[in-house]
Structure 1
Amino acid sequence: MVIEVIAISLTDAKAAQQAGADRIELVAAIAEGGLTPSYAMIESVCGEVTIPVNVMIRPHSRSFFYDENDIQVMLKDIQICKQLGASGIVIGALTEEYAIDEHTLQRLIAAADGLDITFHRAFDEVKDQSKALETLMAYKEISRVLTSGGKNKVLDAVNEIQALEQQASHSHIQIMPGSGLTPTTLPSFITQIHVSEFHFGSGVRHQASFDHCIDANKIRDIRDIMLFRA
């Protein structure tokens, strides 16, 4: 099973790797839900860790609706991520009707040109998650959907995650639960959900806060939990 950990610094990324994380989601401005990090940050992290680094591509935090100016920035950011050695990108775009913005999505996918792609928690704002997932499953380039099942915390969305998991089970897309998972909450959650990738943010930090650094022991505990389940 895959443990993905949010990193907001090079120190985070190195600590997560050393503790046993399988993949980094690299972001800036986590208090705003995560924005694209600086090019220097991307280059430093990709140059100093060996596990995959997927970079958030999000130009602002106002919404997940993007105009042409926003899209041009996102396309350039994706190009730079490729040049700096990122393994993948983390993207999402919605229409003002809160459905998947396929026009924008297609342009971002084309720019990715082989990079690993995660569709991020913009998915949790769509009006119809089943319909949205059906749309995303048409794109073979998208590896996974990060979601809390439309709830604030994924622990409150077990039924929703199960439904999405079932819907995606015969496709190439992985459902990756995130938001609220910790070494304490994971054991009961993992018995109800049969996915292979999990996303961790504040739950693997000291005092469960992005104001504090990564707690390597929490990542090790999560690894042990997953090994026991396997």
Structure 2
Amino acid sequence: MRSERVVLEVIATTVADAMAAARGGADRLELITATGEGGLTPSIGMIEAVVAAVSIPVNVIVRPHSRSFVYDADDFAVMLRDVRAVKSAGANAVVIGMLTASREVDRDGLLRVVDAADGMPVTFHRAFDEARDLHEALDVLLEFDAVTNVLTSGGKGSVLDAVDEVRSLVARAARSHCTVLAGAGLTVDRVHEFVRATGVRAVHFGAGVRCAAHASVSEEKVRVVRGLLSG
């Protein structure tokens, strides 16, 4: 592994989650609600409370529903309002993603989000994994300076089954402004090996650092992962 620090992002759904992740050594949070639906936009009250409770960056998902990543005009109207509200609530970045019906990155939609974010960084979430061609989708995202991270499992249900694809994406994004953020299915016992095999410089943990699938974040598990990444 190279010497620079590997970023550890942890999903939080409550203030308690956020505080446990921060104490355990997480570098950044992704704040969501409705984990059973893959993550939806949390309330403004929750965003404000989490931002006030921790000193690490809080990235907030903006996703109005879980039906698909293809959005209509009404969906976009809601999403753009949410992006502005998330910024006003003090979030570090917005986590969002949108595709066309032909499973390509929705350039026009993303451009509107970037405009609404008004300088706030954007993470493109795992809508990316449903794109028709992941390398083509990454090339589109690299055209947007505001997109600083792309969360991906390499197109697989678990990122642990996509080592070659993730390594390829990392190479494609090398020396760019955008970081490949590997997530979905990472476990404490496999993360060190995975980072060495792929060269990723940022990892995203959800259930892997919880006491059970839908339980609270475990401060101790976060601390163990932080130690493995730092070792």
User: Does the TM-score normalized on the shorter chain lie above 0.5?
Assistant: yes
Question: How many aligned positions are there?
Answer: 226
Residue 215 of structure 1 corresponds to 218
SS in 2 for 1:206: coil
> Contact 1:55–1:81 (CA<8 Å) still a contact in 2?
yes
Structure 2: unaligned runs, 5 residues or longer = 1-5
Residue 50 of structure 1 corresponds to 55
1:84 aligns with 2:89: yes
Residues 180-208 of structure 1 deviation map (CA, whole Å, 9 limit, x = unaligned): 1121111221220212111000000003x
RMSD: 0.8
**Equivalent-residue separation in structure 2 for 1:103 and 1:152 (angstroms):** 28
More contact order relative to length (CA 8 Å, sep ≥ 6): 2
1:28 aligns with 2:39: no
Residues 39-81 of structure 1 deviation map (CA, whole Å, 9 limit, x = unaligned): 1111111111110000000001000011111001011101111
> Contact 2:167–2:200 (CA<8 Å) still a contact in 1?
no
Cα distance, 1:115 vs. partner?
1.0
1:41 aligns with 2:46: yes
Cα distance, 1:96 vs. partner?
0.4
Residue 6 of structure 1 corresponds to 11
Alignment of 1:108-187 (within 5 A): 108-187=113-192
Percent identity among equivalent residues? 47
**Equivalent-residue separation in structure 2 for 1:104 and 1:117 (angstroms):** 13
**Equivalent-residue separation in structure 2 for 1:143 and 1:47 (angstroms):** 24
> Contact 1:54–1:116 (CA<8 Å) still a contact in 2?
no
**Equivalent-residue separation in structure 1 for 2:31 and 2:56 (angstroms):** 12
SS in 2 for 1:127: coil
1:227 aligns with 2:230: yes
Q: 2:22 aligns with which of 10, 17, 38?
A: 17
- TM-score, scaled to structure 1: 0.96
SS in 1 for 2:36: helix
Structure 1: unaligned runs, 5 residues or longer = none
Cα distance, 1:162 vs. partner?
0.7
> Contact 2:164–2:198 (CA<8 Å) still a contact in 1?
no
| 4+ residue segments displaced more than 4 Å | none
* Partner amino acid, structure 2, of 1:214: V
Residue 61 of structure 1 corresponds to 66
SS in 1 for 2:195: helix
Cα distance, 1:170 vs. partner?
3.0
**Equivalent-residue separation in structure 1 for 2:174 and 2:88 (angstroms):** 34
> Contact 2:149–2:181 (CA<8 Å) still a contact in 1?
yes
- TM-score, scaled to structure 2: 0.96
Q: 1:188 aligns with which of 177, 187, 193?
A: 193
